[in-house]
Amino acid sequence: MPLDYTVHPRRTSLVIVAVFLLFNLCYHVVYFSNDENRRSVHVPIHASATLARCRALDAKPGPPEDFYARNVSDRFQTGTKPVVIRNATIWTGRVQGLEVLQGDVLFDGGIIKHVGTISEALLGEYDDLVSVDAHGAWVTPGIIDVHSHLGDEPSPALAGAQDGNSLKGLVQPWLRSLDGLNTHDEGYASSVAGGLTTALILPGSANAIGGQAFVIKPRPTVERSPTAMLVEPPFNLNRSHENDGSPPRWRHMKHACGENPSGVYAGTRMDTFWAFRQGYETARQIKQAQDEYCSKAVAGDWASLNDQSFPENLQWEALVDVLRGRVKVQTHCYEAVDLDAFVRLSNEFRFPVAAFHHAHEAYLVPDVLKRAYEHPPAVAMFAAFARYKREAYRHSEFAPRVLADNDIDVVMKSDHSAIVSRYLIHEAAQAHFYGLADNIALASVTTTAAKVLGLDHRIGYLKTGYDADVVIWDSHPLALGATPKQVYIDGIPQLADPFTVEKPAMAQRAPKTPDFDQEAANAVKYEGLPPIAPTRVKTGTIVFANVSSLLLKHPRRELYDAFEARGSSEPGIVVMEVSERHTGIVCAGPGEECAYSLAADNLDVVDLAGGSLQPGLVTAGSYIGLSEIPMERSTGDGPMYNLLAGDPPSIAGGPGYLPKAVDGLMFGTRDALLAYRAGVTIAVSPVYHDGAFARGLSTAFSLGAATKLEMGAVVSDVAALHFAIGHGDVPSVSTEIAALRHVLLHPPQGDGEAWYKKVVDGEIPLIVETHNADIIATLITLKTEVEAKTGHTMKVTILGGAEAHLLADELAGAGIGVVVSPPRPLAYSWDLRRVNPGLPITNQSAIARLIEAGVTVGIGPQGTSGMPGLSAWAVRNLRFDAGWEMLNAPKTISKATAFALVSSNIEKLLGVPLDPYESDLIATSGGDLLSFDGKVVAVISPRRGRVDFFD
Ligand SMILES: *[C@@H]1O[C@H](CO)[C@@H](O)[C@H](O)[C@H]1NC(C)=O
Ligand SMILES: *[C@@H]1O[C@H](CO)[C@@H](O)[C@H](O)[C@H]1NC(C)=O
Ligand SMILES: *[C@@H]1O[C@H](CO)[C@@H](O)[C@H](O)[C@H]1NC(C)=O
Ligand SMILES: *[C@@H]1O[C@H](CO)[C@@H](O)[C@H](O)[C@H]1NC(C)=O
Ligand SMILES: *[C@@H]1O[C@H](CO)[C@@H](O)[C@H](O)[C@H]1NC(C)=O
């Protein structure tokens, strides 16, 4: 029962007494009278404190009324100079994210003082003012991540600091992520370099209720403590302000439904929801006891309270606060079944839900969200990271726009380090690419995120009185590869010596993204599993019109623009003849030259609207094609034998066992078809084994084929021989090197023998998956050693290569190529701790460094936490990854080089024997493959003698 503060006549005297008691703790016994009776009441010594506490019970969280009177931020660091950023293009976050001002931003004391046109007179009032000329650059509020494990699961990952998940119970609202917030996480500086200025640090999702979450700013502090990183921590943390009358501050509580808690606790969804209800019932009873107690206390009825103290329970107090509406409930919940159950729970126990996180099926059930208690939860999502487990299988890249169309608040989040939070803006940019309006996309990582955290009174906007968390960008923040030139947190510049490059003028506006209306409608219609195979297959003559570039492979496999080569920059026409016998370009050139082709009857004329024809992309570095849902064993080929764990059974070949990925291939997986629709036509995948040494023989295959038996489905049965070597492996790195040396010099007899010999003879490449520079150095010497003994030159490729830049010249000298995978690694583990972070921290990317040294370089998918086994979903993003490298290293990486990184170089490095004339071509409309402007409309495949359309 809620407390009733209404003062009516019979109670007036009691209220006065109570107020009096607040200031007079020494009165134990008070006599008073009223008209009906006269009696003595024992008033306990804690009465005043108790009454104050009772009054505070239902106070709603929020900033104090005089919040904007603050002149100095509570997070101000002494010595921070005032800054004015002049001549900026300012996205303020106001007016639904539609306001853009040309002008200046002034901050001091850790607080924004003025936004817009600022007079010289005002600037004159500031001593020591630092003036920064933005030269018109985009300036936004700092990026806010509502779902991060920074600090609790620090990088590089070491066993000594795995503080994300407690496995001591299904419901543990008493735990606090703050208690595990490690201050030495490489992820902080990395994230700040991407513009991140605030993050909510959530406990993991192993538990139904995993504990309390805390908001931090990831900058270094003078105190060097976790506490110093907090933003408006709840007062209950140290109880200092408990009764001082100021409104409480928001708290956060992590909840999780579905696979994780059921999996960890060997239960079911039914068990998880019973655990929720049991926990909430416990909290409800405590709340009710408190409310009853307080109504008696406020009524002065101490007699019937009979010296009982205020009912409370340290383990459950946070959940009681949820029921009092003072906690932002942050719920990891994927599927319709879970969302629906949690909405029922919110109504049963009457608490609002701040956000559903991940929520891969939320876009299918907006009406369920709208039924939640008090208000629809926001939905905090990944852009394209999906299908890694069953719950995420029906994800759609169109979910953000579908939810926004349904008036649901949309937030993009990282789940750092699942997605590296340095690139959170890229999640918003992808959502924008797939149809989320630019103002909503920018809001999704700023203003809307601030609202979800209950902090939109101080962060998420560029407004007077707000925290001075500001990013100056090198391009429009939603442009591909947008990178900060400087990041301010609490007014403090975070990049001591930022490196920047000049971005093209086109990158200074929001990308003109394709029309995906039909695809978005289909995602909902087919409940997340719309048909994605090509819609039309054509042969015959096909005319592509309004083509602005035609990038072709040269027999020596260097790409060139055939249009530019002909001295024409106007959109032209490309006429293709397509048949199983022969597929090729009949005419290509400016309009008039091939215009005759338009006159013929029965032609397929495809208007590319300024788009391009370019090579199909080739991928390596994931296990695409070997499973549908990586975390569901029954949907994939499964792991091979670990060769270092004992000889495989003789029926499998004993010591000569060497499985071929081609035998386990699955065609038409959703990851494969989505990648195909994004211009990736060929993949090279080895046999899956997470963490073990051998990966068998890889295969190169067509991502667009429906079955293995289709013409051209398998490009080569065997591409290369794969191994993986890393610190932390059991047995040791030295054992893995010994084993590698042994199989090369003394190939085990049996089925594998011939393949090992082919590697030694340089007929097929040896691929070693590793990141670490010491291991790479050992491989360079091993290559020399084996070659000296055999007299043959081997082809060796490093896959991974996060530290390869440290040996760029040596790799070039040894003729060893590198597929950098992921292309933008974090120091996920010790083996990657010397990553080269690239702009704005270092002057160039590791990829550009390797290219400059003369190494043949490819790039793999960005993927998840650097785990190849969880990266097939990301193959579709190769086009953007290549474009990113080009935009951030314009002097080193031309468009042709960028394409080579994801096509011809992968073919060379992974041993895919492709005739350049047989290469697939991708037709994109509106722009090319390396941008957010182009949309893939067709794949022209000479090898397969057909053109696949996606219209
Ligand atoms: C804050 O600044 C305003 C105007 O700049 C001034 O009027 C006010 O006195 C200041 N308040 C404090 C507490 O310093
Ligand atoms: C702002 O910067 C742009 C781009 O450098 C420049 O063209 C313009 O003249 C500048 N405007 C002012 C007022 O300085
Ligand atoms: C207790 O927490 C509040 C809120 O963060 C802070 O202002 C205060 O300084 C803290 N007190 C102590 C003694 O740490
Ligand atoms: C080329 O683009 C122009 C402008 O959009 C359009 O009018 C024309 O029809 C296009 N040409 C062809 C052959 O589709
Ligand atoms: C980047 O820095 C490295 C190391 O300081 C230097 O060797 C290299 O030349 C620089 N490259 C560029 C493009 O500035």
Q: Is 540 left (phi over 0), alpha (psi -120 to 50) or beta?
A: left
Q: Residues 6 or more apart from 497 whose CB is under 8 A from it?
A: none
Where the chain has pLDDT below 50, the residues are 1-38
pLDDT at site 20: 30
What CATH class has 531-615+919-951?
Answer: mainly beta
852 alpha carbon, closest ligand: 5
What pLDDT is recorded for position 504? Answer: 96
The continuous run of DSSP H or E covering 11 comes out as helix 9-23
Which of 74, 178, 216, 240 should be mutated for ligand 3, with most atoms under 8 A from CB? 240
Which ligand number lies closest to the CA of residue 242? 3
Tokens of 421: 């939070």
What atom in ligand 3 is closest to the CA of residue 249?
Answer: 4
Q: Are 930 and 940 within 8 A, CB to CB?
A: no
DSSP for 148-163, please give it.
E-TTTS-SS--GGG--
Query: How far, in Å, is the centroid of ligand 3 from the Cα of 249?
Result: 13
DSSP-derived pairing of the beta strands 721-724 and 796-800: unpaired
Ligand number with the minimum distance to the CA of 547: 4
Domain 143-257+313-460, what fold?
A: TIM Barrel (3.20.20)
Q: How far does the centroid of ligand 3 lie from the alpha carbon of residue 240, in Å? A: 6
State in Å: Cα 523 to ligand 4 middle: 30
**CA-CA distance, 587 to 609, in Å (whole number)?**
18
Ligand at minimal distance from the CA of 605 is 4
Beta strand residue intervals within 567-636, DSSP E: 572-578, 583-590, 604-615, 617-620
Select from 422, 410, 339, 415 the least CA-distant residue to 380.
410
Distance 948 CA to ligand 4 centre (A): 22
Residues 6+ apart with CB under 8 A from 462: 90, 91, 92, 93, 105, 112, 115, 139, 140, 141, 470
Atom 4 of ligand 4, nearest CA residue: 609
**Tokens coding 1:** 């029962």
Comma-separated ranges of CATH 2.30.40 domains in the chain: 531-615+919-951
Task: Write out the E strands in 850-920.
Answer: 857-859
What class is the 617-918 domain? alpha beta
Structure tokens at 599: 């006159």
Task: State the distance from the centre of ligand 4 to the C-alpha of 301, rounded, in angstroms.
Answer: 85
- Residue 115 Cα to ligand 2 midpoint, Å, equals 17
pLDDT of residue 481: 98
DSSP-based helix, strand, coil % in the chain, nearest 5? 30, 20, 45
CB 362 within 8 A of CB 379: yes
What pLDDT is stored for residue 26 in this prediction? 28
Q: Whose CA is nearest to atom 4 of ligand 2?
A: 135
Beta-carbon count within 10 A of 942 CB:
21
The residue whose CA has the least distance to atom 3 of ligand 3 is 235
* pLDDT tens track for 44-77: 888 888 998 899 998 999 999 999 999 999 999 9
Q: Are 623 and 685 in contact (CB under 8 A)?
A: yes
pTM value is: 0.94
- Closest atom of ligand 4 to CA, residue 545: 13
Specify the DSSP class assigned to residue 854: T
Ligand 3 lining (C-beta closer than 6 Å): 233, 235, 237-238, 240
Q: What separation in Å is there between the alpha carbon of 606 and the centre of ligand 4?
A: 9
Whole-number Å distance, alpha carbon 103 to ligand 2 midpoint, is 10
Compute CA distances 605 → 353, 537, 539, 543, 679, whole Å.
52, 14, 13, 5, 20
Nearest Cα to 48, choosing from 179, 195, 243, 214? 243
pLDDT for residue 34: 44
Q: How far is the CA of 607 from the centre of ligand 4 (A)?
A: 6
∠ CA(825), CA(830), CA(836), 5° rounding?
Answer: 35
Strand partners, 130: 83
- How far out from the chain centre does Cα 38 lie? 69
| Residue at token pair 């046109």 | 117
**Segments in 508-627 forming alpha helices (H):** 517-525, 562-565, 591-594, 596-599
Ligand 5 proximal residues by C-beta, below 6 Å: 843-844
Q: What is the spatial distance between Cα 585 and Cα 591, in angstroms, rounded to a whole number? A: 15
Residue 540 CB–ligand 2 contact under 6 Å: no
pLDDT, residue 241, reads: 67
CA 760 – CA 783 distance, rounded (Å)? 10
In angstroms, what is the span from residue 574 Cα to ligand 4's centroid? 14
| 444 preceded by a cis bond (ω within 30 of 0) | no
- Six-digit token pair at 850? 């390797």
* Residues 6 or more apart whose Cβ sits within 8 Å of residue 701: 625, 662, 665, 667, 682, 683, 685, 708, 713, 714, 715
Tell me what pLDDT residue 557 has.
57
Angle at 825 between CA 425 and CA 473, to 5 degrees: 30
684 closest CA partner among 776, 769, 758:
769
Backbone angles phi, psi at 27, to 5 degrees: -80, 115
Best substitution site from 515, 547, 603, 607 to test ligand 4's pocket, by max atoms within 8 Å of Cβ?
607
CA separation, residue 532 to residues 58, 516, 536, 763 (Å)? 52, 13, 11, 37
User: Does the beta carbon of 539 sit less than 6 angstroms from any atom of ligand 2?
Assistant: no
Model confidence pLDDT, tens digit, residues 867-903? 999 999 999 999 999 999 999 999 999 999 999 999 9
- With a Cβ cut-off of 6 Å, ligand 4 is lined by 545-546, 605, 607, 609
Whether 73 and 436 have beta carbons less than 8 Å apart is answered as: no
Q: DSSP of 282-294, one letter per residue?
A: HHHHHHHHHHHHH
Q: Which of 840, 928, 861 is nearest to 506 (CA)?
A: 928
Residue 932 alpha carbon to ligand 2 centre in Å: 27
The CB of 843 under 6 Å from ligand 2? The reply is no
Q: Where in the chain is the domain with CATH 3.20.20.140?
A: 143-257+313-460, 617-918
Tokens of 170: 């299904």
Give residue 11's pLDDT. Answer: 34
Segment 72-125, tens digit of pLDDT: 999 999 999 999 999 999 999 999 999 999 999 999 999 999 999 999 999 999
Q: Report the pLDDT value the prediction gives residue 242, as an integer from 0 to 100.
A: 63
